[in-house]
């Protein structure tokens, strides 16, 4: 069985061994994010996803942080930023789906966005957008100047 220290060394090693790719998909709009995450439209429960970006908004990875119920999912800044630190993200875009088909943000969505934005600022990993995906629409906090 590995000790915590050994596990940490392995995690750090994985980040250091990551090959540098110059052909990363660049994310420049909420429409592109929606296209990339269209699979969320078919989900019957809320899925909260993080897109990890490099300094040029190149996509490093996509991580599902939480899967909830029909109407909610629990998201904690710690879980969102853990992956960002391990893959050296320079910025984040978060997204989740609304299985109801209505992309209007709930008060909880707004609160979560504020908490994630503050946590990202503290850690030096800015939250660039929060996108809500529904079957026929999407909502971008950045496009509405809510972020």
Token pair in block for residue 79 = 């879980």
At residue 114 the predicted structure's pLDDT band, cuts being 50, 70 and 90, is very high
Share of the chain above pLDDT 90, in %: 75
Higher pLDDT, 2 or 75: 75
Sheet holding 91-97, edge to edge: 59-67, 47-53, 91-97, 127-133, 138-140
Residues 122 and 135: their CA atoms lie apart, in Å, by 34
- In the predicted model, what is the mean pLDDT of residues 107-136? 96
Write out pLDDT tens, residues 17-70: 444 455 688 999 999 999 999 999 999 999 999 999 999 999 999 999 999 888
Q: Which residues contact 43 (CB under 8 A, 6 or more apart)?
A: 97, 99
Residues 143 and 96: their CA atoms lie apart, in Å, by 16
- In the predicted model, what is the mean pLDDT of residues 13-20? 45
- In the predicted model, what is the mean pLDDT of residues 122-139? 95
Q: What's the chain's average pLDDT?
A: 87
Q: What is the pTM of this model?
A: 0.83
pLDDT at 10 over 70: no
Three-state SS annotation for 37-67: CHHHHHCCCCEEEEEEECCCCEEEEEEEEEE
How much is the CA Rg of the chain, to the nearest whole Å? 16
The angle at the Cα of 82, spanning 114 to 40, to the nearest 5 degrees, equals 70
At residue 5 the predicted structure's pLDDT band, cuts being 50, 70 and 90, is low
């Amino acid at each position: 069985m590995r000790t915590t220290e050994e596990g940490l060394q392995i995690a750090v090693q994985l980040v250091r061994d990551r090959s540098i790719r110059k052909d990363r998909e660049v994310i420049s709009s909420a429409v592109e994010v929606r296209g990339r995450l269209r699979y969320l439209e078919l989900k019957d429960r809320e899925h909260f996803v993080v897109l990890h970006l490099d300094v040029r908004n190149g996509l490093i990875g996509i991580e599902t942080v939480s899967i909830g119920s029909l109407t909610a999912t629990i998201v904690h800044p710690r879980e969102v930023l853990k992956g960002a630190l391990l893959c050296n993200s320079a910025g984040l875009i978060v997204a989740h789906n609304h299985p109801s088909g209505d992309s209007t943000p709930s008060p909880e969505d707004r609160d979560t966005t504020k908490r994630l934005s503050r946590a990202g600022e503290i850690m030096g990993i800015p939250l660039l957008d929060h996108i809500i995906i529904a079957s026929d629409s999407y909502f971008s906090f950045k496009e509405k100047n809510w972020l």
